[in-house]
Structure 1
Amino acid sequence: MKSALFTTALVLATSAWPALSAAQSSAIRTEVVAKGLENPWAMAFIGEGRVLVTERPGTMRVVGADGRVSEPLAGVPPVVAQGQGGLLDLITDRDFARNRTVYFCYAEPAASGSANSTAMASAVLSADARSLEQVRVIFSQKPKYSSRLHFGCRIAQAADGSLFLALGDRFQRMADAQTLDNHHGKVVRVKPDGSPHTDNPFVNRAGALPEIWSIGHRNPQGATLGPDGQLWELEHGPQGGDEINRIEPGKNYGWPVITYGESYGGGAIGEGITTKPGLEQPLHQWTPSIAPSGMAFVSSERYGKDWVGNLLVGSLKFRYLARLTLDGTRVVKEERLLPDLNQRVRDVRQGPDGFIYLLTDARNGELLRLLPR
């Protein structure tokens, strides 16, 4: 398989490329790093110019420095690859260079029957990067439910090593997002061994699951830490009302009590309201929906200083990359990049070389690098 070289030498060579001026900030192009990925969902950078990629059908592969795609890694647990389920998000541990630990989440089947839920596992990537070792399920969403929809499944790791996992409401169980006795429609926070963090907001509340960090979410499709270290999350709304939220402990983000969306086919959801005391408003929302997926803050000056601090979000529905300019936590401008991409953008990450990388969601999906013209 041929693709553009993804080597350390290239990184060094491109370090001399001029940064984009403000007037040129939209002058970007895509370069194909690798092709032939089957519905890729998430990526993580593992050193030496290599990228670890999950594929929704249940495989994990390494894209080499030369763009070649490896055979599937051994050790991936069974996944429910139906509907929106499968092998989904992936991150490397903050100390990956030393411990080679990765975290990934997926649709986990029940021991028997058709029920399933989102689970998160830890594993050690073997020295030859051909298998996962010491695989351990550290979190499993409760309760399991028979559904092909709304798994959520985005991971972010805090500075203290704890893990945030954003979980979907499982669609028909949307009312669960407002109660504390389940993990549906929640963001949870656990330690790397899977135990609840001791300062989680509901850890001492009777009847509440101790892993819960926030409630009132629908179908999270992006999670990342902001420049201030706080968790940001984005989620799909129902036919409108896709949201970006800055997640704070114990807060209620409203679903399904308030939403800017409506029922599929038309009609109000619940009371048909967009605000209610005690429920958080999104920092930004899209109506009509763009089906956002993947999000990354830009800290690199590869694309010009005016990009630093911007938030990038992929669109599955309209097949572009959204560049959001922020004033603090307020979105003051949105620019639609790559209007001719014509591919569903599933994941967005900034690489260790300072460039932005995208995964496109297709049976013959691609890993792309954004370059200044």
Structure 2
Amino acid sequence: MSYSVPLSFPVFEGNENLYLQQALSSGYLATSGEFIRKFESKLSKKIRTHQAVALNSGTSALHLALVLLGVGQGDEVICQSFTFCASANPIVYLGATPIFVDSEKETWNIDPELLEDAILGRIAVGKKPKAVVLVHLFGMPAKLNEILEVANKYGIPVLEDAAEAVGSTYEGKYCGTFGTIGIYSFNGNKIVTTGGGGALLSRDAGLVERAKYLSTQAREDLPFYQHLEIGYNYRMNNMAAAIGVAQLEKLDAWIAKRRLVNERYRELLSDIPGIDFQTETGNVKSNYWLTTILVDEALAGVSNDRLRVLLFKNGIETRFLWKPLHLQPVYKSAPFYGGNVSENLFLRGLCLPSSVSLTFEDQKVICGLIEKELSKVS
């Protein structure tokens, strides 16, 4: 369906066409070309502390990161349950088992106390986790200090899934730069996009070089094709990178606009009982990639699904929050540590349209529809 107000729509109003034409004119369209190097350089300079490897998706970046961390057949990897399946699926690609952990109520991300419970529980059965996958959900930074303290205590590397958190910061540092490896996504609906794309981040130059090697089919530097190990066709192409360079030039502006969208929603819905927002706590700054709300049916008189259907009928796209992975049929046999925090978030939550191009008038229409619906039951 085509929505009159989409959930998260890309905006191209910078140098995208110029750079794309330059890439086309160069003749280098695939996984070699100047814009790939430019994109990696620009991203690395932006995050300051890490080098970036440009890949063809965030999922590829997660898979490759797990390979670099040595995850293999029979291993276990702890993963946040409240997230998109791409955070966990690469664990299974490698023959390992995901161990799901519930969220805490403040950031909605992995609970540090339950993380330690899970680590101790797995160690008790002789299965020390090989890695921890944490996610910065909807751009909101997780409780990094507490999570890293637990992981470091047991000598377990952290893979930071910052797919939704490009530009978000924690104590002044960019999300994606705290773990052993971080990843970004530049999918079509993300805060900046390359159409389809991702990046792997590390301060370890050896890991960065190995990522580049493995992402180009592990081809040896010889005048003929020779491969000493299995590689992957994961490199970003030059055309996508050209779009990405232009998009990165607008990152700070896009974050400011997404944050303004979030601020306006809070103002417009401030007098409505039973609606709460995902909110920053402490010294963090979310990119607010998506503005998300929780609907308390007992107070509001309507459910999140009723609001979703109402807005859908008016051409406005919304989305439920992620269904926790430990509740997904495909992962029904995977161990889970926690209670019902992530399940309650799923049952109550709704993502609202958050595009950079969303106007204040659009938001007033959306909030007006919500307010009118709630007035019917008050």
Scaled by the length of structure 1, what TM-score is found?
0.28
Q: Quick check: which one's helix share is greater?
A: 2
Of structures 1 and 2, the one with the larger relative CO (CA 8 A, separation 6+) is: 2
Which structure has the bigger radius of gyration? Answer: 2
TM-score (norm 2): 0.28
